Structure 1
Amino acid sequence: MATQISPASGRDKFVGSAQNRVDGPAKVTGLAKYAGEFTSENLAHGYVVSSAITKGRITAIDSAAAEAVPGVLKVITHENRPSVAGEAEAYQDMVAPPGAPFRALYDETIAFSGQPVALVVAEDFDTARHAASLVKVSYEAQTPHTDIAALQDQSYDPPEKRGGIKTPPKPWGDASAAFDGAPIKVSEQYRIAHEHHNPMEPHASTVVVEDDGTYTVYDKIQGVANTQMYLTNAFGLKPEQVRCLNPYLGGGFGCGLRPQYQLFLAMLAAQDLGRSVRVVLTRDQMWSFTYRPGAIQTVSLGAEKNGVLQSLKHDALHGTSQFEDYQENVVNWSGILYRCDNVELTYRLSKLDTATPGDMRAPGAVTGMFALETAMDELAYATRIDPIQLRITNYTDTDPVEEKPYGSKALKDCFVQGAERFGWAKRTPEPRSMRDGKELVGWGMACGIWEALMMESSAKVTLTADGRLEVGNSTGDIGTGTYTILTQIAADALGLPMDHVTTKLGDTDLAKAPVAGGSWTAASSGTAVMKACRNVAEQAFKLARGLEGSPLANVDFDRIVFSKGRIEAAGDPSRGVALTDVLKASGQDRIEATETANPDKDFAKKYEAYTHSAVFAEVKIDEDLGIVRVTRIVSAIAAGKILNTKTARSQIMGAVVMGIGSALHEESMLDHRLGRFMNRNLGEYHVPSNADIHDIDVIFVEEEDKANPLGVKGVGEIGIVGTAAAISNAVFHATGKRIRDLPITVDKILAA
């Protein structure tokens, strides 16, 4: 079991409280610089030319007109692309799925719509953009296949597991026989559309060529260690030759986990021209890579009349590219959330002529839990059992797959507190039974679940003679508040005010840490900071106790506290010494420590760790027009210790908004004749606006977990999981029409 390692007193001062973001002033004043805003002397600008077809080959490229434009330095295509030293490494990155990662400008083959076919490099951006419009490309087009429904008979089981993805467990019991014999049956197909991440900041890379021949790279990424790994692989460079930075990120949601092709093109041009190059993608080009894959799922539930599950079958199919086997945990959740003796889970892929999909906030769980939790609502109506009671009837405190108890699972408390706050007891169960004037009112609920993960992470802490503390590692703050929570942890650990702590992130020169994703950053980097702070605290205490006439001479480490910049004997503030005096008297200008934190293997052997939620949604629907308003959401979250109630609440609110988008708005529309996403802009790709968002109430249910020393589980993803299902279930309660195809739009409601 993990143990507490903080040297702070038992009374947390900052951790667990609501604190403003320490990076907030830089962001709202414009001082925060993003990947496409860094500059250097003699900076050139690259503009990508995108393919006009989805599948086929390039037969000719005429770049003469573009090259004749004053200020154009070069037009790089597959025909004149310089060779790179790491070609054989296939450009691997740390989150790549099995297969061969896409290689920009590699040959004449076109594998997906919008694929880069040329890079125009010029002295300034406007010249590069104009010249790019003059590049003439001829193609030999082939018929693309992008319709997953038409390719179901060509689906396959992934031949190789993607790192971090669990294959569906082997069936247990006899799900088919149990389903056939069940008194109550539900078996339906559920679909979710393709969705694109659409962060405010487009993907951009600025490669600065230094005088000594090394490179400083500013990249839009959720973890600069991944950028560095990609560049060293692709270009045969050593890590010390490439320093990668990304101190701020204008939204990622998963599309920033992998280096995208603008990074390769910027480095390619910088090496070829021997000068610094920046490449920024357009909003249209942001549709030419990573997205949440659309999926077709079938969920079959068999139950007794009292609601006890007898059979659970969940099958999922989604697409991947022709060159990589992208995978998600889609059906696995169905095997662990409820107790059932007969379970069969299957998951398949189909090859499409698209770019490889990518992780998008709570990948797999958003997809799979929509189907499962909608099916559970259908079962609730079929058995005439309240949806909450049905879930309690099939509740489990043990992971049925791993046959291990959960380290903590406060889902029942989520039901109780969420239902009370929402007013669920006033719900009348019959569809179309609740109204507000001319609007139908619907109340629905659903569960959420997400993995509580921790990854290996390091952190460096430096205490200086002026009593200030610097902490940091290479992970990124993707808007979640990582700068702030690490500052809180460090301030508490050494008893300092938060404004005496500086946190640095997003730099490969800092201690190594994983990409920011998976809701693991707080547990991973937070624990590393705690360990490093303890090391510094022990060093400081040793120096303090060794001072001549030290008031701490006979005090043990476990009997001291760090408070207000001092080391004091617990319970006796008069026996203490200031940290600044300790360093001054010892003649040291600083105390440093770098520590690495790893997941607790002993805990993992005994327990499983997940976050849980209960989501309650109210919708109001114009009966004549079918227009849906989500007027209230109550999201009750069980995620262990909450480090910062303000930033954590913001995380859940943002995730709920994305869940509303998934339920009612977001759909990347593929024209299967062209194999192209057609609504490649923020005018036609609908996301919720302020007018679509009303009351969002977040409850953090008290929960104690020992999966890591901080007791945290992470809140980045859990807020979106189950939200779309709760809204879908509310729509059915309001209208009596079950829409099993997301997003739920006016035409679907009117046609049902």
Structure 2
Amino acid sequence: MTTNLIGTARTRVDGPQKVTGGARYAADFNQPGQAYAVIVSSTIGLGTVTDIDSTSAEKMPGVIAVISHRNAERLPYLPHRAIIDPASGERLHVLQDDKVRFYGQPVAVVVADSIDHAERAAAELRISYEAQQPLTDPTDQMVERIIPEAGSVDRSRGDADKAVAEAPVVIDETYNIARENHNPMEPHATVASWSGDRVTLWSKSQYLVNEQAEIAAVFGVPLENVEVVCPFIGGAFGTSLRTWPHVTLAALAARQIRRPVKLVLTRKQMFFTTGHRPRTLQRVALGATSEGRLTAVIHEGTGETSRYEQFTEALTSVTDYLYSCPNVQTRYRLAQLDTSTPNHMRGPGEASGIFALESAIDELSYKLGIDPIELRRRNEPDIDEGENKPFSSRSLIQCYDLGAERFGWKRRTAQPRSMRDGRLLIGMGTASATYPAFHAPANARVRLLADGTAEVEAAASDMGPGTYTSMSQVAAEFLGLPLERIRFKLGRSDYPQTPSHGGSWTMASVGSAIRAACLEVQAEAARLATTSANLPVSGTSIEDFEWREGTLRRRGEASLGISYQDIVVANRGPIEASGSAQRDPSVAERYSMHSFGAVFAEVAIDPDVGTITVRRIVGAYGIGRVVNPLLARSQCTGGMIGGMGMALMEQTALDPRDGRPVNAHMADYLMPVNLDIPALEAHFVEEIDPHVNPLGVKGLGEIALVGTAPAIANAIFHATGKRVRTLPIRIEDMLTA
């Protein structure tokens, strides 16, 4: 019997379901008698709906209802705000008034007996507007830049302005990162069905218990009257963390027509109302000695937000702790635009902020004539100087050592344009990566069954990282059972509550809760065993026994012991226990907790036509305990590909006249495809961190994306001698003087 499952590479336990079509996603939960809803999106970027002519549409075949602000139910929209929602502002109250706040805002929904009938009727709807000129470009002089209301966003130690002015060597540059959209394979979808005043939502969600709470608040019904089901997610990257207007519209339509309703967003609509990585403008100023010691860092950033909510992200947070420096100043502002509210997208804030910081560090290394890794080594801090406390663990330099060895950094020649492969210019670049080791309160339930298996339940989600598998491994490890005897269940809001499936805290939080639940059910099983007249250990003390390899044995004895199955049969019913996990606040106060990594990239650039090819990416990461190396490497390579898209391809372009995304489709919104994917390697530094959580794990999903874009940009400079400070970097950037 194998019990040492944590740390072993196991294939996905849900793999057979996915490859055979057995896995059911939100849009697969068709209900008897269901209707189909299609959203009608606004065609202006700001203004008022003056008229909706639905006469013709309502007479079309199969049409059941045309719902707009004129006839929609008035919803209470009671206060509700989760950790992933903007801390300031108010969410969109869909179809509750005639105001248009951004291009693509839902202004009506057509419900029919088939999707074809609904789409045809939606196209027939005639809507008139009184349009105003929206502001959609954060560089526009008319745009107001505000200080976010949510908490203190500006930090300072020392006198950074003075230190920059007096520094022997200075870098002072600006960086511009384009707006991006998530674009997972599975579109957003919700099937809603009411039974009296209770509603069930089969809905794509990374945060089921929040979707349950949000819809309960929107409709003013008790929390227990809302059930959310989502066993599988076809990719998300943060886009399904919030509960967007389409979920409310599906529930609203279903209640209004009194039958189940299915609503699936089109790819185009996913560019409007389900969030995006905000465009950011940044300035980084570095002061340093001629020996490469940082004396000053100034990092200023502006991110876009909507007018009705203040979306903030960790744009400048990394700068406070990544390197040792006595004088550091960070400022963060929001540009209020007439667009929909941005959202968390893989590596939110850190991915954008570290591009500017790591590009500037690379620029400094060339100005000083110091190897980029050596420059970082000279500025490695002993503690988190922003928080003035030690790191729970920090392996950045070890990551650089391991990554440089696997990448072959020693073969790099320092001078830009000095490496070639025939005609092609070859460049090698590197960048640091980091992400907080987050943890949130989580709960889980374990049930021992008479057939010798164990059921584990938690209201988590799985958008692709292998949650079913890794959580099963944790349960198998602590119960001492083979992996095939664990049945892990997620994707229902009535399971024990967990935090969102995002922020790289699922394993740290939910995994720790499963560990706790396993220990609780073992304790309960031992209590029952020692009090059951049907078992030979009845009347003995629990303290005389221990659990080893899934059996209850007397301490120090090698006997086979009593199995879970024996105890369940004697108990004449399943044995169940719940567990919870949360971080000790005193530990969080004592330590700064983060994952670290070093990313290396090699590019080849054709000097005649400017094409950029990424040949290799190697990442080395310090993420504490690795539960499943196979899944962990998959997460890292996926993040690297996302970072490639950020560096070279992804950009949502808005028409300045109305804020319309002009490339809201897969033909013009460029992303890496199979032919673009280079050789990808992920390696892990041996790292023990007893402080972050009982499992000793740190977040992994975000960090691989965080450092990739700057590593590629730095490699492009090494290849060409051209420093591009705007993402994405395109062919035309290579062809300009």
| TM range, smaller chain | over 0.9
Letter in 2 for 1:219: S
**Matches for 1:432-471 after TM superposition, within 5 Å:** 432-471=417-456
Q: Does 1:560 align with 2:546?
A: yes
- Determine the structure 2 residue equivalent to 1:215: 199
How far 1:375 sits from its partner (Å)? 0.2
User: Does the residue aligned with 2:646 lie in a helix, a strand or coil?
Assistant: helix
Deviations 1:66-119 (A, max 9, x none): 1001211110011111122x23x2664552211010111121111111111110
More deviation in 717-726 or 552-561?
552-561
User: Does the residue aligned with 2:302 lie in a helix, a strand or coil?
Assistant: strand
- 1:460 and 1:473 in contact (8 A); partners too: yes
Alignment partners' CA distance in 2, 1:197 and 1:503: 28
- Determine the structure 1 residue equivalent to 2:527: 542
Q: Does 1:348 align with 2:333?
A: yes
How far 1:561 sits from its partner (Å)? 3.3
- 1:419 and 1:616 in contact (8 A); partners too: yes
Q: Does 1:723 align with 2:708?
A: yes
- Determine the structure 1 residue equivalent to 2:654: 670
Q: Does 1:631 align with 2:615?
A: yes
Normalising by structure 2, report the TM-score: 0.97
Between the aligned residues of both structures, percent identity stands at 43
Alignment partners' CA distance in 1, 2:340 and 2:157: 36
Q: 1:465 to 1:151 in 2, by over 3 A?
A: farther
- Determine the structure 1 residue equivalent to 2:495: 510
- 1:462 and 1:470 in contact (8 A); partners too: yes
Alignment counterpart, residue 604 of structure 1, candidates 588, 594, 597: 588
- Determine the structure 2 residue equivalent to 1:42: 33
- 1:91 and 1:103 in contact (8 A); partners too: no
More deviation in 586-595 or 620-629?
586-595
- 2:551 and 2:560 in contact (8 A); partners too: no
How far 1:145 sits from its partner (Å)? 0.9
Q: Does 1:101 align with 2:85?
A: no
Alignment partners' CA distance in 1, 2:469 and 2:129: 51
- 1:541 and 1:557 in contact (8 A); partners too: no
- 1:151 and 1:350 in contact (8 A); partners too: no
Alignment partners' CA distance in 2, 1:460 and 1:12: 20
Letter in 1 for 2:104: G
How far 1:552 sits from its partner (Å)? 9.7
Deviations 1:176-198 (A, max 9, x none): 11111111110000110000000
**Matches for 1:627-666 after TM superposition, within 5 Å:** 627-666=611-650
- 2:145 and 2:335 in contact (8 A); partners too: yes
- Determine the structure 2 residue equivalent to 1:4: none
User: Does the residue aligned with 2:432 lie in a helix, a strand or coil?
Assistant: strand
Q: Does 1:263 align with 2:247?
A: yes
- Determine the structure 2 residue equivalent to 1:174: 159
- 1:221 and 1:249 in contact (8 A); partners too: yes
Deviations 1:287-312 (A, max 9, x none): 00210001110000000001000110
Alignment partners' CA distance in 2, 1:281 and 1:514: 25
- Determine the structure 2 residue equivalent to 1:164: none
**Matches for 1:392-411 after TM superposition, within 5 Å:** 392-411=377-396
Q: 1:12 to 1:738 in 2, by over 3 A?
A: farther
Deviations 1:447-475 (A, max 9, x none): 00100011001101100122110001111
- Determine the structure 2 residue equivalent to 1:159: 149
How far 1:170 sits from its partner (Å)? 3.0
Q: Does 1:130 align with 2:130?
A: no
Alignment counterpart, residue 725 of structure 2, candidates 737, 740, 751: 740
Alignment partners' CA distance in 1, 2:320 and 2:376: 14
- 1:397 and 1:409 in contact (8 A); partners too: no
- Determine the structure 2 residue equivalent to 1:698: 682
Deviations 1:404-427 (A, max 9, x none): 100000111101100000111111
Alignment partners' CA distance in 2, 1:648 and 1:559: 36
Alignment partners' CA distance in 1, 2:538 and 2:705: 50
Deviations 1:225-251 (A, max 9, x none): 111111111000111211111111111
Alignment partners' CA distance in 1, 2:193 and 2:685: 48
User: Does the residue aligned with 1:445 lie in a helix, a strand or coil?
Assistant: strand
Q: Does 1:244 align with 2:228?
A: yes
Q: 1:241 to 1:75 in 2, by over 3 A?
A: same
- Determine the structure 1 residue equivalent to 2:263: 279
Unmatched tracts of structure 1, length 5 or more? 1-8, 162-166
Alignment counterpart, residue 215 of structure 2, candidates 220, 231, 234: 231
Deviations 1:312-352 (A, max 9, x none): 00000111001001101111211110111111100001111
Alignment partners' CA distance in 2, 1:686 and 1:641: 35
Alignment counterpart, residue 579 of structure 1, candidates 540, 558, 564: 564
Letter in 2 for 1:712: V
How far 1:37 sits from its partner (Å)? 1.4
How far 1:56 sits from its partner (Å)? 1.1
Deviations 1:561-595 (A, max 9, x none): 331x43334664325122212222x3331110112
User: Does the residue aligned with 2:363 lie in a helix, a strand or coil?
Assistant: helix
Q: 1:569 to 1:737 in 2, by over 3 A?
A: farther
- 2:177 and 2:281 in contact (8 A); partners too: yes
Q: Does 1:297 align with 2:286?
A: no
Letter in 2 for 1:133: A
User: Does the residue aligned with 2:703 lie in a helix, a strand or coil?
Assistant: coil
Alignment partners' CA distance in 1, 2:531 and 2:382: 51
Alignment partners' CA distance in 2, 1:634 and 1:599: 32
Q: Does 1:64 align with 2:50?
A: no
User: Does the residue aligned with 1:282 lie in a helix, a strand or coil?
Assistant: coil
How far 1:493 sits from its partner (Å)? 1.1
- Determine the structure 1 residue equivalent to 2:109: 119
Alignment counterpart, residue 347 of structure 2, candidates 344, 362, 368: 362
Unmatched tracts of structure 2, length 5 or more? none
- 1:552 and 1:576 in contact (8 A); partners too: no
User: Does the residue aligned with 1:733 lie in a helix, a strand or coil?
Assistant: helix
- 1:94 and 1:226 in contact (8 A); partners too: no
- 1:495 and 1:562 in contact (8 A); partners too: yes
User: Does the residue aligned with 2:558 lie in a helix, a strand or coil?
Assistant: strand
